[in-house]
């Protein structure tokens, strides 16, 4: 039986996935070459934008050997992958320049699911016969609620006793905001500097008294911040010190084409500084009181997004606060990293029976830079070792293994927390040990 959220997301059909991460990010910032490459690498996750893809379009190259490992683990039917489509940020434009690929996407039965809505995805939806596209109202709504300032205002309107809304001040420029943050640090108070629009933790900095001192004091801090590339409005937000083991929490949902809101689930995120790096989802991951608060508030936010015209995937991110409260920090109006975990979990539940715990690590450090063939051998060995423990490993981001700072994205799944812990320990230690094996260090 298909879950209500999956029916709203795919109509119960195999979908077309378009990994337009860099294209979406370009809606909010000018991207340099490194940012485009990073977006293309993260677009490897497009293989998992729904539980069972039919056609996947990727900007960067992805060898078929990786697809086969993914397909076996998830018992997918054969998948058509079009990779290496463009080196630039405009993936949908590159697709529209390929009439044969447009025809193939038109022939696919299911919905077209992109990382995020853009004017390009609107054109692609129309070109492939999927109606008039997302529409200007939905595009505008997505941009509106991605704003850290607008989201904070909405949180204040929707909050109940389980929600602690961080206080926020808006400034016209980073310089003004940095001066305020430096004064707060001088008073011994930590704050968070946030560009109004930023994705994946970019444009966000936790400013503590220790950080300002480390950077040479208030004046040096302000000088350094003035050299930042952040432009436009910036907010200074109250810093909420996360408490307990579930420090960073997410709740994901889908706004269906008819405006109905369907919660997908909640999880505990890994956040490295301000950068998302993975999630844990499954039964018992969140204490019941936090789970109820997250679900109740996530549904309210989803209903507000729907009323404003937004359609598609969304999430709300929180930090945990005292007394079983959650402090909401942002809304993402797009597919998210945790969405990948939920789609993987749905597929495993379908083919192996529920329930499954899923742990994703998007940036698992490798102890050495590995050419693709050696990375493939390493991952294949990890798959076998995890299977011996009773766990499933799926490679999710294999394209960064030879980067300057080599990493690997993986998803791990198991029936219980202890098996999952053992599998993760094995994968982390084996990957870190590659430096010793190859006589080098990353």
- Say whether pLDDT at 231 is over 90: no
- Say whether pLDDT at 442 is over 60: no
* DSSP character at residue 47: G
Q: Report the pLDDT value the prediction gives residue 201, as an integer from 0 to 100.
A: 65
Q: Out of 161-165, 244-248, 358-362, pick the least confident.
A: 244-248
List, in order of start, the domains of the chain with CATH numbers.
1-134 (no CATH), 167-238 (3.30.1490.20), 356-437 (3.30.70)
In 3D space, the residue among 129, 85, 135 whose CA is nearest the CA of residue 111 turns out to be 129
pLDDT category of residue 440 using cuts at 50, 70 and 90: low
- Say whether pLDDT at 81 is over 80: yes
Q: Report the pLDDT value the prediction gives residue 373, as an integer from 0 to 100.
A: 95
Q: Report the pLDDT value the prediction gives residue 136, as an integer from 0 to 100.
A: 80
Q: Report the pLDDT value the prediction gives residue 19, as an integer from 0 to 100.
A: 99
In 3D space, the residue among 57, 61, 49 whose CA is nearest the CA of residue 91 turns out to be 57
- Say whether pLDDT at 132 is over 70: no
pLDDT category of residue 131 using cuts at 50, 70 and 90: low
For 387, phi then psi, to 5°, come to -60, -35
The 3-state secondary structure of 306-346, one letter per residue: HHCCCCEEEEEEEEEECCCEEEEEEEECCCCHHHHHHHHHH
User: pLDDT of 37-54, one tens digit each?
Assistant: 999 999 999 999 999 999
User: pLDDT of 308-366, one tens digit each?
Assistant: 999 999 999 999 999 889 999 999 999 999 999 999 999 999 999 999 999 999 999 99
Report the phi/psi class of residue 315: left, alpha or beta, with left for phi > 0 and alpha for psi in -120 to 50: beta
**Measured at the alpha carbon of residue 17, what is the angle toward residues 109 and 60, in degrees to the nearest 5?**
140
- Say whether pLDDT at 105 is over 90: yes
**Residue 76, CA distances (Å) to 50, 52, 80 in order:** 12, 6, 11
* Residue bearing tokens 């060898």: 63
**Measured at the alpha carbon of residue 354, what is the angle toward residues 350 and 355, in degrees to the nearest 5?**
135
In 3D space, the residue among 30, 79, 85, 92 whose CA is nearest the CA of residue 52 turns out to be 79
- For 136, other C-beta atoms within 10 Å of its C-beta total 11
DSSP assignments along 344-374, one per residue: HHHHHHHHH-S--EEEEEEEEEPSS---HHH
- For 161, other C-beta atoms within 10 Å of its C-beta total 9
CA distance 387 to 379: 12
Per-residue pLDDT, averaged over 168-197, amounts to: 95
Secondary structure of residue 357 in the 3-state scheme = strand
What percent of the chain stands above pLDDT 70? 97
Per-residue pLDDT, averaged over 91-102, amounts to: 98
pLDDT category of residue 439 using cuts at 50, 70 and 90: low
> Beta 312-321 vs 248-255: how paired, if at all?
antiparallel
Strand order in the sheet with 275-281: 325-332, 312-321, 248-255, 261-272, 275-281, 357-365, 407-414, 392-397
* Residue bearing tokens 């447009």: 102
pLDDT category of residue 227 using cuts at 50, 70 and 90: confident
Per-residue pLDDT, averaged over 62-89, amounts to: 98
pLDDT category of residue 88 using cuts at 50, 70 and 90: very high
* Residue bearing tokens 């979406």: 24
Which H or E run contains 55? strand 53-57
Q: Report the pLDDT value the prediction gives residue 135, as an integer from 0 to 100.
A: 74
* DSSP character at residue 163: B
Average confidence score pLDDT of the chain: 94
């Amino acid at each position: 039986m298909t879950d209500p959220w999956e029916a709203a997301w795919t109509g119960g059909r195999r979908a077309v996935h378009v990994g337009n991460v860099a294209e979406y990010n370009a809606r909010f910032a000018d991207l340099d070459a490194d940012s485009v490459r990073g977006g293309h690498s993260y677009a490897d996750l497009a293989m998992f934008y729904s539980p069972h893809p039919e056609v996947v379009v990727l900007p960067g190259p992805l060898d078929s050997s990786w697809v086969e490992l993914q397909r076996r683990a998830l018992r997918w039917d054969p998948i058509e992958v079009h990779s290496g489509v463009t080196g630039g940020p405009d993936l949908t434009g590159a697709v529209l320049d390929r009439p044969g690929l447009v025809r193939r996407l038109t022939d696919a039965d299911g919905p077209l699911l992109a990382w995020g809505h853009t004017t390009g995805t609107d054109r692609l939806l129309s070109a492939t016969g999927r109606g008039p596209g997302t529409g200007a109202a939905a595009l505008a709504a997505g941009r509106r609620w991605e704003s850290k300032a607008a989201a904070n205002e909405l949180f204040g309107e929707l909050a109940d006793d389980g929600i602690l809304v961080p206080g926020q001040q808006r400034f016209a420029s980073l310089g003004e905001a940095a001066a305020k943050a430096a004064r707060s640090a001088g008073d011994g108070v930590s704050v968070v500097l946030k560009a109004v629009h930023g994705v994946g933790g970019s444009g966000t900095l936790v400013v503590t008294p220790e950080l300002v001192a480390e950077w040479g004091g208030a004046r040096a801090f302000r000088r350094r911040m003035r050299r930042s590339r952040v432009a436009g409005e910036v907010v200074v937000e109250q810093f909420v010190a996360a408490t307990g083991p579930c420090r960073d929490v997410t709740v994901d949902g889908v706004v269906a084409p008819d405006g109905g809101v369907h919660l997908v689930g909640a999880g505990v995120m890994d956040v490295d500084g301000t950068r998302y790096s993975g999630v844990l989802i499954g039964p018992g991951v969140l204490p019941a009181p936090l789970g109820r608060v997250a679900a109740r508030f996530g549904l309210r936010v989803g209903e507000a997004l729907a009323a404003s015209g937004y359609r598609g995937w969304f999430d709300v991110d929180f930090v945990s606060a005292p007394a079983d409260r959650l402090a909401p920090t942002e809304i993402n109006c797009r597919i998210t990293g945790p969405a990948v975990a939920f789609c993987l979990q749905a597929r495993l539940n379908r083919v192996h029976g529920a329930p499954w715990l899923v742990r994703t690590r998007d940036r698992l450090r490798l102890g050495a830079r590995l050419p693709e063939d050696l990375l493939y051998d390493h991952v294949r060995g990890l798959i076998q070792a995890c299977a011996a423990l009773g766990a499933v490993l799926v490679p999710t981001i294999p394209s960064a293994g030879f980067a300057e700072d080599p990493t690997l994205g993986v998803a791990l799944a198991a029936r219980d927390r202890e098996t999952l812990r053992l599998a993760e320990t094995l994968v982390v230690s084996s990957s870190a040990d590659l430096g010793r094996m190859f006589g080098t260090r990353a």
